């Protein structure tokens, strides 16, 4: 039995261009597409990432960010031109009706002609600081837990504005994206929560990071990612 969660307002893609500092590139400036967009295992047709070491690939094939958060950001950081249109956060899917608290790790969603699986929360980086003209924007996004999330593609197909977002399977109902963010972005190591998260089929990069935390009893330094 499926559960209706919301609908897609925009499907967006972008090309990787020089961005922010010498040698850096980004595809964060994504634009809404007026026609259906093909989605394969590696992502959306016509979409690019500036650094494939940390963006894109099958575990980050589609990035989703909720329209609901935009109003809260305008209230917190003031009016910004970038917040007037979908794509402010470099998302591929811009939607209404579903936010991080409504989803869990491993949720399988039917959206348009695709079947997508929630693979991980977004880890914001310094490029958001440049994008918004706010020096600590990436840290604000992380601390707010309004990060957005990524999907892996289980069934390729097409996406377009107006597509319904339907939950078809939820294997880990106790692990909302909010709970996961609380573990990932905690300032201190909680051994019990860390081990519980490690028991799930999380992505390799998370597994290495959490195992290292248990070994050292320290949370890694985020400054390079958040500040560039």
What contacts 176, CB < 8 A, 6 or more positions away? 100, 101, 102, 103, 104
pLDDT at 77 (0 to 100)? 97
Examine residue 212 and state whether it is found in any structural domain, yes or no.
no
Give the closest residue to 7 by CA, choosing from 90, 108, 111: 111
- pLDDT classification of 51: cutoffs 50, 70, 90: low
Residue 194 domain flag:
no
Q: Which CATH number is 46's domain given? A: 2.40.33.20
Q: What are phi and psi of 181, to 5 degrees?
A: -60, -35
pTM of the model as a whole: 0.95
Alpha-carbon span 128 to 175, nearest angstrom: 27
Structure tokens at 112: 């348009």
Does residue 26 lie within any of the structural domains? Answer: yes
- With beta carbons less than 8 A apart as the criterion, state whether 32 and 11 touch: yes
Question: How many domains is the chain built from?
Answer: 1
pLDDT tens per residue across span 108-133 = 999 999 999 999 999 999 999 999 99
Instruction: Confirm whether 136 is domain-assigned.
Output: yes
Pairwise CA distance, residues 156 & 211, whole Å: 33
Is there a domain that residue 178 lies in? no
Question: How far is Cα 51 from Cα 171, in angstroms, rounded to an integer?
Answer: 32
Tens-digit pLDDT profile for residues 198-223: 999 999 999 999 999 999 999 999 99
Domain ranges, residue 43: 3-172
Per-residue model confidence (pLDDT) at position 53: 66
């Amino acid at each position: 039995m499926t559960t209706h969660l919301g609908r897609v307002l925009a499907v967006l893609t972008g090309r990787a261009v020089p961005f922010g500092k010498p040698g850096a590139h980004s595809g964060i400036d994504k634009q809404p597409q007026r026609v259906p967009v093909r989605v394969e295992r590696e992502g959306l047709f016509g979409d690019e990432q500036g650094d494939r070491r940390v963006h894109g690939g099958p575990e980050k094939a589609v990035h989703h960010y909720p329209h609901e958060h935009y109003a809260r950001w305008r209230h917190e950081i003031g009016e910004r031109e970038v917040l007037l249109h979908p794509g402010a956060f470099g998302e591929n899917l811009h939607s209404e009706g579903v936010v991080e608290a409504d989803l869990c790790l491993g949720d399988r969603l039917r959206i348009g002609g695709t079947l997508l699986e929630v693979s991980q929360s977004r880890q914001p980086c310094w490029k958001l600081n440049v994008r918004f003209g706010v020096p600590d924007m990436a840290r604000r996004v992380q601390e707010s837990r309004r990060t957005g999330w990524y999907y892996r593609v289980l069934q390729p197909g097409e996406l377009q504005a107006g597509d319904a977002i339907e939950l078809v399977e939820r294997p880990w109902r106790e692990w909302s994206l909010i709970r996961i963010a609380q573990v990932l972005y905690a300032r201190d190591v909680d051994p019990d929560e860390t081990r519980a998260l490690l028991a799930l089929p999380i992505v390799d990069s998370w597994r290495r990071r959490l195992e290292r935390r248990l070994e050292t009893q320290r949370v890694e330094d985020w400054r390079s990612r958040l500040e560039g």
